[in-house]
C-alpha cells in the first residue's frame, strides 16, 4: 500500500472523528447556570449537589397561549429549562397552534428537528440550500412524523379547523432558532433598507413599512 494511500485513509479517519460530537465523559453534567465560567455549553454542577429535580420538567401538558400575530406558541424544554440536559445533545418543544396558525419560516443552527403530530392537521415543509432552493413539503395527520434537517429553513401551518398540537425533538441541548422574518426585518440595528430592497427586488418604501412592524 502506497504512503499516499495510507495518509489518505488516516486523514479520512481523522475527519470522521472530528466531525462527530464528543460523547459525555461522565454519567451526567447538570448545568450550573450560576457559574461565571464561560465554556462552549454550560459548566457542570458538583455531582454531589445534583438532585432529581435537575432532571425534571413539568408543564408540557399545558396549552400555550396562541393569541399572537402568528397564532402559535412554542414551549421549549432545553438546557435552560431542564439543567440535566447539559451535554446530552437533545431537547424538545411543544408547539400549540390556533386554526390557521403558523410556526413561521425559521431554522435551527445547531439541530435537526423531528416533528410529531399529536392533534390536528398540518402543512409542513423545508427548503433545500442554494442553488436549488427546492421546497419539500407534506400534509401531516395525527401520528405522522416529519424530519427537518439541521440548518434548513422550515415551517409548519395548522390547516385544520380547530386547535392543533405537535411535539418536536431536537438534536441539541440548545438548538437555537432564527425566525427569518424577525432576523431580516427586525434586526438591531436595522439592516440598511437599500440592501433589503435590492435583495428582495422591491421598493425601499415597502422595506421600511415591513421593518416598522418588527
Query: Tens digit of pLDDT for each residue in 170-189?
Result: 999 999 999 999 999 999 99
Question: How confident is the model over 186-200, as a mean pLDDT?
Answer: 97
Q: Give me 127's grid cell.
A: 427548503
pLDDT band at 12 (very low <50, low <70, confident <90, very high): very low
| CB 55 within 8 Å of CB 82 | yes
Query: How far apart are alpha carbons 197 and 189 in whole angstroms?
Result: 17
**Residues marked as binding for Mn(2+)?**
106, 108, 113, 154
Res 24: pLDDT: 76
Binding positions: 103, 106, 108, 113, 154
CA distance 150 to 114: 10
> Any long-range contacts for 184-190 (C-beta under 8 Å, 24+ apart)?
185/210, 185/211, 185/213, 185/214, 186/211, 186/214
- pLDDT tens digits along 74-109: 999 999 999 999 999 999 999 999 999 999 999 999
Question: Is residue 178 exposed (0-12), middle (13-18) or buried (19+ Cβ within 10 Å)?
Answer: middle
Helix 204-212 / helix 193-200 crossing angle, nearest 10 deg: 110
Task: Determine the Cα–Cα distance for residues 16 and 208; give it in Å rounded to an integer.
Answer: 46
Task: Give the pLDDT of residue 11.
Answer: 45
* Neighbour count for residue 214 (Cβ, 10 Å): 14
pLDDT of residue 39: 85
User: Which residues are annotated as part of the binding site for oxalate?
Assistant: 103, 108, 113
pLDDT at 6: 54
Global confidence as pTM: 0.86
**Angle subtended at Cα 180 by Cα 70 and Cα 80, rounded to the nearest 5 degrees:** 80
How far apart are the C-alpha atoms of 135 and 112, rounded to whole Å? 17
- Contact in structure between 193 and 206 (CB atoms under 8 Å): no
Q: Residue 18 — pLDDT band, cuts 50, 70, 90? A: very low
Amino acid at each position: 500500500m502506497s504512503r499516499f494511500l495510507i495518509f489518505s485513509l488516516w486523514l479520512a479517519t481523522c475527519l470522521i472523528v472530528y466531525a462527530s460530537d464528543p460523547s459525555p465523559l461522565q454519567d451526567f453534567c447538570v448545568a450550573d447556570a450560576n457559574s461565571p465560567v464561560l465554556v462552549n455549553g454550560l459548566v457542570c454542577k458538583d455531582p454531589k449537589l445534583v438532585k432529581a429535580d435537575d432532571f425534571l420538567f413539568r408543564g408540557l401538558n399545558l396549552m400555550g397561549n396562541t393569541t399572537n400575530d402568528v397564532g402559535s406558541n412554542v414551549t421549549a424544554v432545553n438546557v435552560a429549562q431542564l439543567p440535566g440536559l447539559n451535554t446530552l445533545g437533545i431537547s424538545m418543544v411543544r408547539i400549540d397552534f390556533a386554526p390557521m396558525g403558523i410556526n413561521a419560516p425559521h431554522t435551527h443552527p445547531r439541530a435537526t428537528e423531528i416533528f410529531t403530530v399529536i392533534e390536528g392537521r398540518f402543512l409542513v415543509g423545508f427548503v433545500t440550500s442554494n442553488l436549488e432552493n427546492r421546497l419539500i413539503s407534506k400534509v401531516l395527520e395525527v401520528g405522522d412524523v416529519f424530519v427537518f434537517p439541521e440548518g434548513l429553513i422550515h415551517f409548519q401551518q395548522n390547516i385544520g379547523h380547530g386547535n392543533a398540537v405537535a411535539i418536536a425533538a431536537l438534536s441539541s441541548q440548545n438548538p437555537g432558532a432564527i425566525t427569518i422574518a424577525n432576523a431580516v426585518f427586525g434586526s438591531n440595528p436595522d439592516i440598511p433598507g437599500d440592501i433589503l430592497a435590492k435583495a428582495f427586488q422591491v421598493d425601499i418604501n415597502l422595506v421600511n413599512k415591513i421593518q416598522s412592524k418588527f
